Structure 1
Amino acid sequence: MSQDDFRALYERLRQRAWGGARGALDTITPERIRAAAADVRTGRTVTLAAPVETEPGPDNPQPAGHRLTSPPEESADSRGLHFATDRFSMNVHGDADTHVDALCHVVYDGTLHGGVPATTVTPAGATALSVDLARDGIVGRGVLLDIPRLRDVPWLEPGDQVTAEDLAAAEEAQQVRVGAGDLLFVRVGHRRRRVESGAWDAAHARAGLHPTAVEFLADRRVAVLGSDSNNDAAPSAADGIAFPVHVLAVHALGLHLLDYLQFEDLVPVCVRERRWSFLCVIAPLRLPAATGSPVNPIAIL
């Protein structure tokens, strides 16, 4: 896409934003949550998160830090009461760990979503549109569209792009339809490729959505977008914009994004149950001024 084509797409989508103070999360109404909960059949729960990684790799040069802060080694065999304690640190927006992007994560043309000034993001934290907007959790109907399954391949190769036509074809093949207020999850097979072929520099080569696929999200008025990759493909299809899907989804439409999920536990359950929709519960950490949070989304079938 040329810069002019991208700008035109951005302006079209910005005019179609359907959310309120919490962005598109406001489309998840109590009625839709009750309907998603009522559709639970087996009660089976499945994580959509990958394990947090503490070792460096080609796609994770700044891994999460984890160390035990107590007890001292000599207390292991001693009598009396002792506690084991930990300390964690994390680059939330890396290319390995599962996380949610807040609406303050994407700055474009000096603003955040809805025209909020970018100056609200300060060294002390974000004073607007932080992940605290999701402090009460993101709960609703999740829908998984499996693009490698549609194309009959184990995964999409780095650089491949998912189109709106792919999403519509996956709906038809899986006999499911994405609707307003849904949590849309798009599998590209990133995690399976990483497990079977090893990690690579995903910052420069990864499968993801084509920018024009975001119009599908607008047509269906979804509440959240998530992928087992970064949602954006690399290299980018838009000249001069490294993360066009982030700009279009977060900044223009007000969608919270979930990056680097894993669906390898969920897919066989969906195949066995012959259903690709489920109740989904996502609970970000209470980080009132943060631009994102690690998460462990749970699908309930």
Structure 2
Amino acid sequence: MSQPPAIHTAADGITTGRRWQRRPDGANWGDFGPDDQVGRMNLLTPERRLGGVREVRDGIAFTLSLPLDLPGMLSEMRKPPKLFVESVQGIPAFNCAMTMFGGTGHDVMCDDGVILYTQYSTQWDSLAHWGQRFDADDDGIAETVYYNGYRAGEHLIGPEAGGPRAAALGIENLATAGVQGRAVLVSLRQAFGPGRTWVGHDMLMQAIAAQRVEVRPGDFLVLHTGLDEAVLAMNGQPDLHVLEQTGAVLDGGDLRLLDWIDRSGIVAICSDNMAIEGVDLATPPAPDRSMLPLHELCLFKLGIHLGELWQLHELADWLLARERSAFLLTAPPLRLPGAVGSPVTPIATV
């Protein structure tokens, strides 16, 4: 028998949800249905997609992906892609004359495979990327849960149980959600320069006003910081110390900023930097706080997808020169069942 949607009761937080009895403060779990797996992407209605189409005036397209072998090694968890070739009957399937397999004529064939870390370069984070230890059962014991109450072990299956595999919240859900609509670009580099600046609510509103950006519900918010140009200039040999001093980051500790993100109705935040928000490794958070509060709000509580390491400088320069900010964004991830992230080649059409 199907279960009813989870209904939040403001007074005590108790719900009738199938996977949870209490949802985190400020979360929208259940608002898009008890089994929702795409969060705010539900706001991408046909009319809002048409709003993105109406921003196209010149028919020019910008590719917003870095080459997927950049930025270079920044972490042992994420490594560059590695192309390889399989051999068939002892013959590598590359520059391979088809006569080697009994064919005739002059045909030659190349084939290859790739080992690809899904969040190494230009990427989408799925809603399975960031969870939390939280007492969703309201029994005094914290469980490991993700957006909309999906559970570690049951829905997010680790290697100890035959994974890794996201049986729920995998990136394939985003791939089939129709990731296309109106996007607006805010150039934090233009507003605050190329150095590392922590941008809170007031500063972001200042940049939005100065660049005459109109943010609407259902929009993709795209933030240009200049870090993409620094990554490209390093040509696969990244200097992490330099990158840590380059480009603005959002201040996830600013509660007014988090509240604005919620109230704005945006469906995603995309940036050319590595996490969208700043990380202060020298000041660990309190035990009851997240080290990445914007990730917590967006991925865990609200189902707002995050795009990182996008290449934005050419688009930003073009828009700023014409005093424009809005465009049509088309950015589906790979339809790769069970993955928690995906490379993406976003296209901005202006």
Unaligned runs of 5+ in 1: 1-9
Residue type of the alignment partner of 1:45: A
Residue in 1 aligned with 2:27? 14
The two structures, once aligned, show a CA RMSD in angstroms of 2.9
Q: Report the counterpart of residue 13 of structure 2 in structure 1.
A: none
**1:171: Cα distance to partner?**
1.2
Q: 1:288 to 1:71 in 2, by over 3 A?
A: closer
**Contact 1:228/1:261, CA 8 A, preserved across alignment:** yes
**Structure 1 residues 25 and 55: CA distance shift in structure 2, 3 A:** closer
Is 1:223 the counterpart of 2:241? The answer is no
Cα distance per residue 1:242-301 (max 9 Å; x no partner) = 322211110011111101111112112212332111010011111121111110111111
Distance 2:214 2:126 in 1: 26
- After TM superposition, the structure 1 = structure 2 runs for residues 11-50 of structure 1, keeping only pairs within 5 Å, are 11-14=24-27, 19=32, 21=36, 22-50=38-66
Name the CA distance, whole Å, in 2 between partners of 1:182 and 1:173. Answer: 19
Q: Quick one: which amino acid aligns to residue 280 of structure 2?
A: P
Specify the alignment match of 2:219 in structure 1. Answer: 182
Residues 48-197 of structure 1 aligned to structure 2 (within 5 Å): 48-53=64-69, 56-58=72-74, 62-68=79-85, 71-72=93-94, 75=97, 80-94=106-120, 97-109=121-133, 110-119=144-153, 120-122=155-157, 123-136=163-176, 137-151=178-192, 153=193, 155-157=194-196, 160-196=197-233
| Separation of aligned partners in 2, 1:255 and 1:63 | 27
Look up the SS of the partner of 1:296 in the other structure. Answer: coil
CA distance 1:73–1:140, change in 2 (3 Å): closer
TM-score (norm 1): 0.84
Q: Does 1:199 align with 2:238?
A: yes
For 2:171, give the aligned amino acid: V
1:142 Cα deviation (Å)?
A: 0.6
2:140 maps to none
* Structure 1 consecutive aligned stretches of length 4 or more whose deviation exceeds 3 Å: 10-13, 15-20, 54-61, 67-76, 195-198, 204-207
- The residue that corresponds to 1:209 in the other structure is 250
- How many residues are aligned here? 285
CA pair 82-275 structure 1, distance change in 2 beyond 3 A: same
Distance change >3 Å, CA 200–CA 59, structure 1 → 2? farther
Greater relative contact order, per chain length (Cα 8 Å cut-off, separation 6+)? 1
CA 55–185 in structure 1, closer or farther in 2 if over 3 Å, else same: closer
Q: Residues 102-126 of structure 1, C-alpha deviation per residue, up to 9 Å, x if partnerless?
A: 1111121110012221221111411
Residue equivalent to 1:286: 335
8 Å contact kept, 1:59–1:200 = no
Q: CA deviation at 1:129?
A: 1.3
- 1:88-115 per-position Cα deviation (integer Å, ceiling 9, x unaligned): 1122223xx0010111111211100122
1:232 lines up with 2:311 in the alignment:
no
CA–CA separation in structure 1 for the residues paired with 2:175 and 2:217: 21
The letter for the 1-side match of 2:349 is: I
Shift in CA distance, 39/74, structure 1 to aligned 2, threshold 3 Å: closer
